[in-house]
Every structure is written in C-alpha cells, then in structure tokens.
Amino acid sequence: MSASFVTRFAPSPTGFLHRGHAFSALTAFAFARRKRGRFLLRIEDIDATRCRPEFEAAILEDLAWLGLEWEQPVRRQSEHMADYEAALETLRARGLIYRCFRTRKDLAEAALSAPHGPAEPFTGGPIHPNEEDRWLDEGKSFAWRLSIAAAREALGPAFHHLTFREEGEGPTGQHGKITARPELAGDVVLARKDVGVAYHLAVVVDDALQGVTHVVRGADLFEAAHTQRLLQALLDLPTQAYRHHRLLLDAGGRRFAKRDKAETLRDIRERGVTAEQLRAELGFAE
C-alpha cells in the first residue's frame, strides 16, 4: 500500500456527526482513494469532561453507514497520554512553555480592556518564580502555554521562515506556500490541569506518529496550521501538506454546527435518506 498519501479524519466525540462532518470525512476519504493512499480515523477524545462513549460509538456507526472504510486500530487519543506528556516534557525542558494561572474569567476581563480589542492574542509570559511557588503551594489551577517569545529565541531567524504548503484553500483563498504566523494566535494553551493535553499538541504528535502526509480538514482550522507548524519545528517533527476545504453551508448560508443543533446523520438516516442519496447531495456521487 502506498505511503505517499496518508490522511485522516479526526472527530471529537462531543456530539453526533452532522452533514458538515460527513462532507469533511468524504473529502479526506475521496482524496485517499484517488491517490491510492491510506485513510485513518482518529478519535480526539482528550477532553474527558466533554467526550462521551456513546458519541464515539455513533461516529463509527455513522461513518460505516456513509460507506467509509478505515484502517485498524483506530487511534484514541485518551489511550496515548504518555506520548503527549513526553512532547510536553521536551518543550518544558527547553523552556518553551510556562504555567499560566489566569482563570478564564481573568482572561475575558483582560481581553475586554486590551488596547487593541478582544481579539488580541494572549502573550502573558511566566509569572515571577516566588509567586509561582506560592500559587503552586496553594494548589491554584494552571495551564501550560507555549511561549512565542521563547520559541522566537530558540529558533532564531528560522522562526520567521517557517512555511507550510496549502494545497486546498484557507478561508480567504490562501493557497500555495504559506508563511506561518504563530504569533497571531499568541501563547496557546498546550495542556491543562484537568485535561493533560490540549488540541494543538495532541494533533501535532499524532499526525507525526501516524505518518500522516496530508491534513484534510475544514477551512475553519486553517489558522491552527500556523501554530501547529511552529510546534512541529520545536519538536523536530515532520510537517504535513494541508488541504483545507470549504465549509459546507446550510440553506441559510450558515455553517453546520453542533451548537446550532444541526440535523445529525442519525436524524437524516431515520428520515429514510440512504447513504447513497446523502453522498450524492454532498457531491460524492459514485
């Protein structure tokens, strides 16, 4: 089997899949078929507070109904915490992450009073060691954040020349060789006390460990590639080519979203729609 094209669909089991997920999964699957490559399924269940086993079971069932086939075993992130912890330790040993004790409420207030408005990225930096010791003694909760300042220092001029290849399209048509601008997202959270690893770190570690060559996913995650490219450089991991795809919109021009209670694949199935009909509706007729 060819290893020159390896892609994955990586849902989080925090709800039932809807048309937007089906479109994304079919897009990745179709690319893999066309390239005679490999298609992997990865369950991104690191956040035990939001993920539920019944959603995971439903994902497998819905994707099989849709006609997708994937390799076994399926990687479940919750079973690989040691891999993420090792990556975090590498970053910690090199002084690239720091503890941030600010609560979500602190951050929301700081964002509102920020000179450039709420969209300003967080770059708080570490607190004074004495204060840090005191807060740790008090058992105050914290998150590990990536330090953009430390990363810039560690990589030197190379920091400004990190690039990734966009073979699809970002939200405003970005395509081709893209210069990574991780500073735009700022000091992202890489781990929390209650959730041992956060999204960016887990994705970068997994894509490398699974030998993914092409990341196919929605254009809403285009910005994430900037941060993820930096993490790949800091952890000495290979980079992937990206194929961000347009987001599927509903009749009202809105993207499908769990929070808007978009019709789920199970609802669609219960209405008597066949997988073939749904595939055709989404542009994947045989």
Residues 6+ apart with CB under 8 A from 51: 12, 13, 14, 45, 78
For residue 131, count CB atoms less than 10 angstroms from its CB and return exposed for 0-12, middle for 13-18, buried for 19 or more.
exposed
Which 146-185 positions form the footprint of ligand GLU (CB under 6 A)? none
Tracing tokens 């409420």 back to the chain, one arrives at 105
Task: Output DSSP code: residue 217.
Answer: E
Task: Kindly indicate which of the ranges 10-18, 114-122, 170-178, 179-187 contains the residues binding ligand GLU, using the contact rule CB under 6 A.
Answer: 10-18
Q: How far is the CB of 36 from ligand GLU (least distance, A)?
A: 22
Residues 6+ apart with CB under 8 A from 228: 200, 203, 204
Q: How many residues bind ligand GLU (CB under 6 A)?
A: 7
Which 217-246 positions form the footprint of ligand GLU (CB under 6 A)? 217, 221
Interface residue with ligand GLU, options 11, 13, 15, 20 (CB under 6 A):
11
Which 38-67 positions form the footprint of ligand GLU (CB under 6 A)? 44
Task: Kindly indicate which of the ranges 4-12, 62-70, 122-130, 270-278 contains the residues binding ligand GLU, using the contact rule CB under 6 A.
Answer: 4-12
245/269 with CB nearer ligand GLU: 245
Interface residue with ligand GLU, options 5, 6, 7, 10 (CB under 6 A):
10
Residue 49 contacts residue 81 (beta carbons within 8 Å): no
Cα–Cα distance, 174 to 222 (Å, whole number): 9
List residues binding ligand GLU (CB under 6 A).
Answer: 10-12, 44, 203, 217, 221
